Structure 1
Amino acid sequence: MTSTQPLLYAAPSAFTIERVHTLVQQVGPEAPTVEYKEKLGPTLARGVAALANTYGGLLLVGVSDQRKIIGVKEKAIEAVAEHCTAKIEPPWSPEIIPVPLGDGSDLYVLVLRIVPGTHPRPLLVDGIAYVRHQNTTHPADWRRLGELFAEQSAAPEGVWNLQAPQIPHQPSGGADQTVDFVLRSGLRLPVATAAVWRPLSERVITALADALDGSRLAAVMASMASASSPDGIGGFHRAGLNRSRSVRLAWSVCPEGWPADKPHPMEAQATLEIPGGYGTFGQQLTFQVDVTVRASTMTEGRWYPVHRPLGLEETAHLIDALADALTAPNLIAALAELAGVDAYAVPQPRNLHLVTARSLISVLDADALTQVPGSGISHGAHLLSDPAHDLADPAQRWTQVLQWVEQITLDGGLTGAERLLRHLPAPPRHEQQRLATRPERVAAGNS
């Protein structure tokens, strides 16, 4: 499954006929967020309104139901805009991006882009509110119609939709200075009214744990902890506060012979909350993953009391693996089922937090970087993703990761990372593969 969400925010210049071909090929038959129209017809406004009343999306004019790219004349642009404005109530027309077919043709594919939060809801056509369900357009039933009219605002949520993590505390109190940094990323998505009543099923939570255990994130964390074999690695398992509408999944690993009184060099925690729990309000599902790194306390698989700086490459590969895990199809499918929405409506991670216990400049390997005089002390970075990047695509994700790592160094008062990152190798192809085997569950006491 490909994500259409990055295209909702990409620059118009990013739409090429090659990208349209790829989109049509990957999406296949029409999806909840993609619809095809061979030409301007009487049902085009219905398709636009249905996408706007559901998840938003793309309507491609000049593509047949059989997914053949035919194209339309340039004059169709004005006709489509006039048709939408005349038929849709209140009058509204989406952004129209003409994409030339090329090869000397005077034909175009018109990409009608319907971005959530940029239009009123509901949009009516002939007094009817149309919605999308899977790959069909149909009138909203009385319940959905009531929900659309009851909406207070269609404005998108704030961009900082996840709070920054806290550094774990040591038993004696105060921040744990053995922590290099904590990474946090995740996503929030609205829960359909019909799904609000559902508690967290054990089957879906097991599917989430399996998705994380089989992700490249688990492999990278194990590698950073010098645990090259899955033997003894505890998979993501319930630990801590768990209720019918909230769950915490813990993961940790250490090399063989690691001191029992020392915290593990790599730990992770996934938390999931759905609305409806005691004292909670709202209509959003929240899923986030925290990765706690203490890798600098380890040398050749043994505990080492002096911190070593962490390289930009291993930091970048860990961030890449985290973003990879959060866009995995099986994880997205599990979250979509919990929220009662289509998998196409599940957003990609929008922000990344990195918080350090010690100063950032003492955590990262800064030998090849230059510290800005008087830049002060930084303890992390809060980073936004470019919404036009598809984080499920390895190449686009790596581009985003390099931008993030450069921002992290700049927030630490360091310059020169752009030059270094230009030559930083992406994760090897074999690392892009999911783990073939899943470690057995372990008791919570091993977390």
Structure 2
Amino acid sequence: MEYEEMNNSLFAASAADLTIGRIRALAARPDQVESLTLEFKREYSSSLLKTIAAMANTYGGLIMVGITDKAESGSERVVGVDAQETIDKIASGCREKFDPPWEPTFIPVPFDDESGRSVVVIRVNANIAPRPLLIDLKAPIRLSGQNSTADRDRLLKLAREEPTADVLPMGQGLMAPNLNRDNEGESSEDLVLRTGINVPMGDAGVWRPLSERAVKALAQALNDSVLPGALRSLGQGSIDQFTGFRPLGHNRSRTARLVWEGGSRSRKVDHPVEAIVTVSLPPVQAIATTSVATLTIDVVSRFRRYAQSMGNMSWEYRYSVPDLAVLFEGLLKAFVDPRVVEEVARITDVDAALVAQPRELHLVADRPVGDLLASTGLQEIPEAGTSFGGIFRANPALDLRVPDERQEQADDWLRQLGLDAGLSGMEALVERYRATTPPLA
């Protein structure tokens, strides 16, 4: 599997965060090979210009100059180049060879010694490149780790396409969820969490309907992930029976809906927690203007109502910070689980490298968030106001496949949740919890 993607931590990181240590760690990974959105070059060559144009005409990506394309036992893969000389050659070639002339972003990353050598990182953003970008009157395109040439149909598509919003490959731009309400307008849910990704569609995926086999394979991958365990963490141990993810409700040729339900044998409220995974392919009539699929996960929780139904009216159920930490981390890990990524890539007919990482979390509550959280360790900030949820953005410099970085993102969301709710003490709560709890591996 090829997981290094155009929207990974190095593609999105600021120049200051691009260090030679991170680049060496990337090059040293045994599974790290060239893909649709990643290429290594030992030094400048004329073929590098074709790779820039091919990435610009496809999904964008990263080119790292100063790294050999294959790891050899006992040899250093990161060899470096003279940064200024290399950038000058590439920029000159872009001006002379490209039609229209266009340059990607160049970031020199110096070695941490006195050698004077660097790795030149080239970021190719397909959303701002003039497409089709021609070289020698041809439009190169990228195919799984190598360059090819667009045929007539692909060239016409490039010429006619509307620019895709830059947020889409980053997994952002999701619609906020809504709380379900009864006939009297009362919410039947405590809260709804939503995260998800947008994924570009490959040529076959654009026209192919969702198959039962593909949907069942995605359901199995989700059931085998950490997500069911994270969902069972809610409710302070009251979940003692549950169903796995399976098709339920509105499933059509372009839409799949998978539902996981958890409850108790002694329940009076059905399914105090459930997770709803929705895969939406673009309608066939919209394919000319948009070729992006969306996958969302909604976590719906009703534990306050569940506790009331059990007849215990002397206390109100509150959501604990550790339970939410497990849930946030589990949601993020599910989206980068290799089997889940593989099934999403198969459905959309793209390289697994193009399956984005989630970059936002929506929360909608039926009352002020401060009234939903367990108050131990939290204090109201005077006149700070209240919050009924919000949108929590992810740090694009974090690679959510790395346990420590995934945990850092979950903790950031918890801290924002506390601050938006007008509460102090969340940072200390998170620190105490992490002191005894390792990240999900």
TM-score, normalised by the number of residues in structure 1? 0.87
Instruction: Name the SS of the counterpart of 2:181 in structure 1.
Output: coil
Deviations 1:176-197 (A, max 9, x none): 35x3321111112232343222
Instruction: Name the SS of the counterpart of 1:365 in structure 2.
Output: coil
Is 1:162 aligned to residue 174 of structure 2?
yes
8 Å Cα contact 1:391-1:397 kept in structure 2:
yes
Number of the residue aligned with 2:185: 174
Unaligned stretches of 5+ in structure 1? 434-447
Structure 1 Cα separation of the partners of residues 47 and 436 of structure 2: 46
Instruction: Name the SS of the counterpart of 1:92 in structure 2.
Output: coil
8 Å Cα contact 1:297-1:304 kept in structure 2:
no
8 Å Cα contact 1:245-1:275 kept in structure 2:
yes
Number of the residue aligned with 1:150: 160
In structure 1, what residue type is equivalent to 2:65? V
Instruction: Name the SS of the counterpart of 2:40 in structure 1.
Output: strand
Number of the residue aligned with 2:123: 113
Q: Which of 50, 60, 63 is matched with 2:64 structurally?
A: 60
Number of the residue aligned with 1:439: none
Number of the residue aligned with 2:199: 189
Structure 2 Cα separation of the partners of residues 122 and 291 of structure 1: 41
Number of the residue aligned with 2:331: 322
Is 1:84 aligned to residue 89 of structure 2?
no
Deviations 1:5-43 (A, max 9, x none): 232110112222221122223353311111111111111
C-alpha RMSD over aligned residues: 2.6
Structure 1 Cα separation of the partners of residues 285 and 45 of structure 2: 50
Q: Which of 110, 116, 122 is matched with 2:132 structurally?
A: 122
* CA displacement at 1:258 relative to structure 2: 2.3
Q: Which of 12, 21, 24 is matched with 1:21 structurally?
A: 24
Structure 2 Cα separation of the partners of residues 174 and 277 of structure 1: 36
8 Å Cα contact 2:65-2:80 kept in structure 1:
yes
Question: Residues 274 and 366 (structure 1 numbering): CA distance in 2 closer, same or farther, change over 3 Å?
Answer: same
Instruction: Name the SS of the counterpart of 2:196 in structure 1.
Output: strand
Number of the residue aligned with 2:372: 363
* CA displacement at 1:205 relative to structure 2: 0.5
In structure 2, what residue type is equivalent to 1:238? P
* CA displacement at 1:154 relative to structure 2: 4.8
8 Å Cα contact 2:12-2:396 kept in structure 1:
yes
Structure 1 Cα separation of the partners of residues 52 and 172 of structure 2: 29
* CA displacement at 1:274 relative to structure 2: 1.0
Structure 1 Cα separation of the partners of residues 165 and 180 of structure 2: 35
Structure 2 Cα separation of the partners of residues 34 and 3 of structure 1: 7
Structure 1 Cα separation of the partners of residues 144 and 332 of structure 2: 27
Structure 2 Cα separation of the partners of residues 282 and 16 of structure 1: 36
In structure 2, what residue type is equivalent to 1:56? G
Number of the residue aligned with 1:199: 209
Deviations 1:280-302 (A, max 9, x none): 98432111111112334567x96
Number of the residue aligned with 2:403: 394
- Residue correspondence of structure 1 range 283-322 to structure 2 within 5 A: 283-296=291-304, 304-305=312-313, 306-322=315-331
In structure 1, what residue type is equivalent to 2:55? L
Is 1:11 aligned to residue 14 of structure 2?
yes
Is 1:32 aligned to residue 36 of structure 2?
yes
Structure 2 Cα separation of the partners of residues 147 and 248 of structure 1: 31
In structure 1, what residue type is equivalent to 2:47? T
8 Å Cα contact 2:177-2:364 kept in structure 1:
yes
* CA displacement at 1:228 relative to structure 2: 8.7
Question: Residues 202 and 227 (structure 1 numbering): CA distance in 2 closer, same or farther, change over 3 Å?
Answer: farther
Deviations 1:131-189 (A, max 9, x none): 1101111111222111111112254247852111112334x543335x33211111122
Structure 2 Cα separation of the partners of residues 54 and 428 of structure 1: 42
* CA displacement at 1:214 relative to structure 2: 1.2
Unaligned stretches of 5+ in structure 2? 72-76
In structure 2, what residue type is equivalent to 1:237? R
8 Å Cα contact 2:233-2:327 kept in structure 1:
no
Structure 2 Cα separation of the partners of residues 278 and 141 of structure 1: 23
8 Å Cα contact 1:398-1:426 kept in structure 2:
no
In structure 2, what residue type is equivalent to 1:339? T
In structure 2, what residue type is equivalent to 1:64? T
8 Å Cα contact 2:207-2:284 kept in structure 1:
no
8 Å Cα contact 2:250-2:256 kept in structure 1:
yes
Instruction: Name the SS of the counterpart of 2:207 in structure 1.
Output: coil
Structure 2 Cα separation of the partners of residues 217 and 303 of structure 1: 30
Identity across matched positions, percent: 34
Figure out how many residues of one structure are paired with residues of the other and give that number: 426
Question: Residues 279 and 115 (structure 1 numbering): CA distance in 2 closer, same or farther, change over 3 Å?
Answer: closer
* CA displacement at 1:356 relative to structure 2: 0.8
Number of the residue aligned with 1:218: 228
Structure 1 Cα separation of the partners of residues 23 and 286 of structure 2: 46
8 Å Cα contact 2:200-2:354 kept in structure 1:
no
Instruction: Name the SS of the counterpart of 2:55 in structure 1.
Output: helix
Instruction: Name the SS of the counterpart of 1:199 in structure 2.
Output: coil
TM-score, normalised by the number of residues in structure 2? 0.88
* CA displacement at 1:367 relative to structure 2: 4.1
Number of the residue aligned with 1:268: 275
